Amino acid sequence: MGSISAVDEKTGRKFYLDDPDDLKPGDKVVFLLSLHGGGSIGAWQRAYFPAYQYKEKYRLVIATPSAATKEPFRHWVGKADDAHLRNIVDYVFDRYGKDNIASFWLVGHSQGGMTANRILGDDFFKDRVDGWLSLSGGRIGPIELPASFFVPVMGAPMPPMPSQGGDAPRPGRATAPDCDISFIFATGEHEMVALPSTSPWADKYGAGTRVRLADVVDDEPGQIYDTIREGKSNRAWGLSPRPGRTEVYLYPKARGGRLIADVVRLDKGHTEGLEPRITEELIKMMVAAPGGKGRGQR
């Protein structure tokens, strides 16, 4: 099929759907549900984390929707969006076959990551999701954002993050979900004060002391950045796309083979699009992690 604009028939809302051009009936695929951040849209997210460029090589199906709420800016909130995301999952599982979904990952940037964290409290998702890739969307455990993260926009303060209620996830720090998943936290160096050397999620699964893998070096920049704040941004929020180096930390021997990792893009902030090699490295990690939860195999 390749890349299409699919339709949630229950709501009429469209979303991007990418799959391998040479996909055959019965082929196993890894399903990514990729959520944009607050103030963004699906098209931006698709370029920010361009997993579709690797859909043939790693047998990926990627669904990239847009939130419905537009005020004070577009963001994920409320029952309507949650129902839309559940409908997309049902659509993908029906279209490709439940038994052919090798694993299912939530991927979310910024408020999209906060939303991924929140919906993991929903039985629908916690019973199906095998892993969560948080792209600057919150780390399970302590982490602190620098004050410079909240930069002015056109001379005015940043709009507040939309409330998600009670103990819901907030920028920087995520809540520990009541489910078993692999977890990758990927962030820009400048959008945090410091990366902790331990992980409560790794502790939960009895993982060993973290080890640093080989750095990922990108000679090419990412595809996209926050053009609205161009010339008014700072290193914490993000500047223009550029090549770079990424540190990868793995917590080894987690129970059940679960993948738990921290990934730090050096000299990057919150909004620079991911470079090609680190995009592929994250995909390789997800594909190699255990799956089958959505098929009732765990």
Q: pLDDT: is 169 or 264 the higher one? A: 264
Please say whether the beta carbons of 247 and 212 come within 8 A: yes
Residue 298 — very low, low, confident or very high, per pLDDT cuts 50/70/90? low
Task: Check residue 3 and give its pLDDT.
Answer: 78
pLDDT at residue 147 tops 90: no
pLDDT one-digit tens code per residue, 54-107? 999 999 999 999 999 887 778 898 888 999 999 999 999 999 999 999 999 999
Task: Check residue 15 and give its pLDDT.
Answer: 97
Q: pLDDT: is 125 or 150 the higher one? A: 125
Percent of residues, the chain, with pLDDT higher than 70? 92
pLDDT at residue 170 tops 80: no
Task: Check residue 166 and give its pLDDT.
Answer: 40
pLDDT at residue 154 tops 60: no
What is the C-alpha to C-alpha distance for residues 87 and 123, in angstroms, rounded to an integer?
14
Tokens of 196: 């902790």
Task: Check residue 171 and give its pLDDT.
Answer: 61
Average pLDDT for 234-240: 92
Task: Check residue 232 and give its pLDDT.
Answer: 82
pLDDT at residue 125 tops 60: yes
Q: In CATH, which of 1.20.58, 3.30.450, 2.60.40, 3.40.50 is domain 3-295?
A: 3.40.50
Please say whether the beta carbons of 89 and 127 come within 8 A: no
Per DSSP bridges, beta strands 182-188 and 131-135 are parallel
Average pLDDT for 214-234: 92
Average pLDDT for 103-116: 96
Tokens of 174: 């995520």
**Backbone dihedral region for residue 81 (phi beyond 0: left; psi -120 to 50: alpha; all else: beta):** alpha
Structural domain boundaries in the chain: 3-295
Nearest to 44 by CA among 16, 22, 71, 13: 16
pLDDT one-digit tens code per residue, 29-38? 999 999 999 9
User: What DSSP letter does each residue of the chain carry, written as one string?
Assistant: --EEEEEETTTTEEEEEE--TT--TT--EEEEEEE--TT--HHHHHHHS-GGGGHHHHTEEEEEE--SB-SSS-B--HHHHHHHHHHHHHHHHHHH-GGGEEEEEEEEETHHHHHHHHHTTSHHHHTT--EEEEESS-EES-----GGGS--BTTBPPPPPPP--TT---SSEEPPPSS--EEEEEEEGGGSS---S--HHHHHTT--S-EE-PPEEESS--S---GGGTTT--TTT--S---EEEEEEE--S-GGG--EEEEEETT--SSSPPPHHHHHHHHHHHHHS---GGGT--
Residue 163 — very low, low, confident or very high, per pLDDT cuts 50/70/90? very low
Task: Check residue 296 and give its pLDDT.
Answer: 74
